[in-house]
Amino acid sequence: MWKEYTKGYLKNNRTSAISVMMAAFASALLLSLLITEFYNMWKYEVERLTAEGDTYALQAMYLARDANDTAPRLVFPLFLLITGLACVSLVIIIHNVFAVSMNARLHQFGVFSSIGATPKQIRTCLFQEAALWCALPILAGTLLGIVGAMGITEWTNVSMAGIENRREAVFGYHPLILAVTISITGVTAGISVWLPAWKLSRMTPLEAIKNAGDGQLKRRKHSRMLALLFGVEGELAGNALKAQRKTLRMASLSLFFSFMAFTLMQCFFSLSAISTRETYFEKYQDAWDVMVTVKDEKIGNFGEVEQIRALPGAEDVVVYQKAAAKCRLSEEELSEEMKANGGFSHASEKDVTREGEAFLVNAPLVILDDESFMRYCEQIGAVPRLDGTVILNQIRDVTNPDFRHPQYMPYLKESGKTVLHGSVKTENTGTETVGAEDGGNGRGGTTDAAVELPVVAYTQEKPRLREEYATLDYYEVVHVMPLSLWEENKGRITGAEEDSYIRVLCREGVTASELADLQREIAELTAGKYRIESEDRISAYEENDKEIRGMMTIFGGFCVLLAVIGVSNMFTNTLGFVRQRRREIARYLSVGMKPQEIRKMFLIEAFVIAVRPLLLTLPIAVLAVGAMLKASFMDPAEYMAEAPLRPIAVFILVVWAAVGFSYYLGWCKVRNLNLTEVLRDDTMM
């Protein structure tokens, strides 16, 4: 009997069947795409870490632990979180579809209950219908999700093709993933069906027969604003929206969160792109064109400087190395401006250590090849010489938090000498303790070494290098010294980095292809002698843009998912118009309303549903962007000139169009109602 009823219902109610099948198909597609894509992200990380030999990070990834604060180690917990949220959202989508169908049949099930049908039989009937409706859509959606994930992988490889040292992603799939996807989708659909079925089966026959399921308000409420703006149609639209508030709640929340997430994402990434461009690429565009890192090689061992300088297009070449030391300063050595600004009173203990009456500060060393150091001396107006160091004699006003527009002052008085402190390893020879150059290998210990050096000049003009100075530690005293001076003193001060660097400047207006040719020539010149990594300014800028676009695509996809959930709820609701609202529309027509007036009422409903989430989003977005601008000290006018208004407007208009189209479909279903049939009490279909 129940099988025959189910077949008859499916045959005569294709619209309801199609809406349920669409919801099941969309849910399977989204879950399959999500799970497959996360599996491939995990697979990519495993392959990358295996190739790099990072055993600890690989183990941490399998254990879902964060190793060394590296974001990819959180892939597995993030996957669980997002998949869980997606399942909850999709349960709500399918639940709403089934709820619309089942609520329209309350009268029928009330009649069945009155003639002896048990709640278990009704639930079995509903689950049987769900199985018939959802089986093929779930399978089709799962397969299409796999194809979509393959497309995303290929698109990612194409869009990220120019990124340095990036491994190409190879799409993979495992039968277990198929089983997990279908199982999760099936459970999601089962929960979605069980919720309204359980609620329906608990109703008494009298409640079910009495409930017409037309979604009317028990007590009319005035919608003053809509009535003022749109008249009677606005009042009726307001009542209809209030009657459907539970049905539309998820749609409204989804649209609100999609608008807010997409707007904030666009604003954040556009602000980040502007900030990166101004504080890095534009700030240092005249400081470098090609950067080469010579891995595990000291500057004194690199002998190809002149050959690189002779390469076509290399107009300015600097070879340098970095080291770390300490500098002990007293209050008397500080400039008057520095003392007037509080001296070291604003410094934290991690940056400045007090030792009696003196202060120990960090003193980064920038070691230039001799020729580059001589040119630097000429650049700052000092007498070129190789027996001393140049001190970058400036410090930021630490009381002013505006890092975008810093104010500088002299740091030290110009005394003509500086004393560097560092740890030196020693070895015991049996008669005396001597310094072991480059660390030594004796059985000695570590002692503090103090090296007094003459100062060639004090300057506030930085070397033309792609280096940041005093950005995290405002109190560090940067020393720039020639290679020959470093060679004389490196045995007494340790702290040199393992790598050396080559900075190349080219002509103004150099092209990306010219920089690529120059990098290739440097690689050929150093092949077999050194292990190098290189990058150029133009490609780095393009790669940065690609990475930002990639992140925006990923986050934008989740925003679109939220919008799809909201719009799906709208379509689900409007596809049930014939059953939910036909009696309501028939009453309006019977008292003299014209179809054009009912259409206006629908337009008002669609307008309110579409605009209300945006009105809630705007003040939050304005406050959030204002907070971001304040934190970044960016001029609002400067940001507004590049604000992402167009993509935000396009996203909103597309969602609005979808909402409007869903209501148009609903109108198409009710505009030609037969009043005689609709107003009859017999709702058996």
Instruction: Examine the pLDDT at 41 and tell me if it is beyond 90.
Output: no
Q: What is the pLDDT of residues 245-271, one digit of tens each?
A: 766 776 777 788 788 888 888 888 888
Instruction: Examine the pLDDT at 70 and tell me if it is beyond 60.
Output: no
**pLDDT at position 148, please?**
85
Q: What is the pLDDT of residues 584-611, one digit of tens each?
A: 777 777 777 888 888 888 888 888 888 8
Q: How far is CA 620 from CA 2, 614, 632, 639, 654, in A?
A: 52, 10, 18, 18, 21
- Does the pTM surpass 0.95? The reply is no
Q: Cα–Cα–Cα angle for 306, 308, 312, nearest 5°?
A: 115
Instruction: Examine the pLDDT at 99 and tell me if it is beyond 60.
Output: yes
CB 210 within 8 A of CB 197: no
Beta strands of 283-351 (E only): which ranges? 290-295, 316-330
**pLDDT at position 543, please?**
79
**pLDDT at position 257, please?**
79
What burial class does residue 590 get, using C-beta atoms within 10 Å of its C-beta: 0-12 exposed, 13-18 middle, 19+ buried?
exposed
- The pLDDT confidence band at residue 33, using thresholds 50, 70 and 90, is confident
The structure tokens 């030594």 sit at 440
- How high does pLDDT run on average in the chain? 78
Tokens of 244: 């459907």
Count the neighbouring beta carbons within 10 Å of the beta carbon of residue 56: 10
Residues 6+ apart with CB under 8 A from 228: 234
CB 357 within 8 A of CB 470: no
Q: How far is CA 67 from CA 53, 71, 76, 347, in A?
A: 14, 9, 13, 31
**pLDDT at position 76, please?**
56
Tokens of 631: 């934190």
Q: What is the pLDDT of residues 142-200, one digit of tens each?
A: 898 899 888 888 877 776 665 556 677 888 888 888 888 888 777 877 777 777 677 66
Q: Cα–Cα–Cα angle for 289, 292, 293, nearest 5°?
A: 145
Q: What is the pLDDT of residues 316-333, one digit of tens each?
A: 999 999 998 999 898 899
Of residues 3 and 121, the one with the higher pLDDT is 121
- % residues pLDDT > 90 (the chain): 18
Tokens of 187: 């459970």
Give the Cα separation of 400 and 396 in Å (integer).
8
Of 8-22, 148-162, 229-243, which range is least confident? 8-22
CB 503 within 8 A of CB 524: no
**pLDDT at position 185, please?**
77
What average pLDDT does range 45-63 have in this prediction?
61
Q: How far is CA 685 from CA 12, 105, 443, 495, 681, in A?
A: 8, 9, 96, 85, 12
**pLDDT at position 580, please?**
63
Q: How far is CA 635 from CA 274, 631, 646, in A?
A: 11, 11, 20
Of residues 73 and 551, the one with the higher pLDDT is 551
Residues linked to residue 451 through DSSP beta bridges, in sequence order: 420
Instruction: Examine the pLDDT at 100 and tell me if it is beyond 80.
Output: no
Of residues 475 and 112, the one with the higher pLDDT is 475
Of residues 117 and 132, the one with the higher pLDDT is 132
- The pLDDT confidence band at residue 441, using thresholds 50, 70 and 90, is very low
Give the Cα separation of 243 and 239 in Å (integer).
6
What average pLDDT does range 212-224 have in this prediction?
55
Instruction: Examine the pLDDT at 392 and tell me if it is beyond 90.
Output: yes
Of 24-33, 151-160, 169-178, 668-677, which range is least confident? 668-677
Give the Cα separation of 589 and 603 in Å (integer).
17
Q: Which of 92-96, 303-307, 465-469, 477-481 has the highest mean pLDDT?
A: 477-481
Instruction: Examine the pLDDT at 424 and tell me if it is beyond 60.
Output: no
Instruction: Examine the pLDDT at 357 and tell me if it is beyond 80.
Output: yes
**pLDDT at position 207, please?**
60
Residues 6+ apart with CB under 8 A from 213: 103, 104, 105, 106, 107, 579, 580
Distance of CA 353 to the CA centre of its chain: 38
**pLDDT at position 316, please?**
92
User: Which amino acid is located at 109 in the chain?
Assistant: F
What average pLDDT does range 68-80 have in this prediction?
50
**pLDDT at position 443, please?**
45
Of residues 9 and 340, the one with the higher pLDDT is 340
Q: What is the pLDDT of residues 515-568, one digit of tens each?
A: 999 999 999 998 888 999 898 888 888 877 777 777 777 677 767 766 776 777
Q: Which residues of 539-559 are buried (b: 16+ CB within 10 A; e: fewer)?
A: bbbebbebeeeeebeebbebb
Q: What is the DSSP string of 489-518?
A: HTTT---EEEEEEEEEE--TT--HHHHHHH
Indicate the domain borders of the chain. Answer: 1-211, 215-287+535-685, 290-505
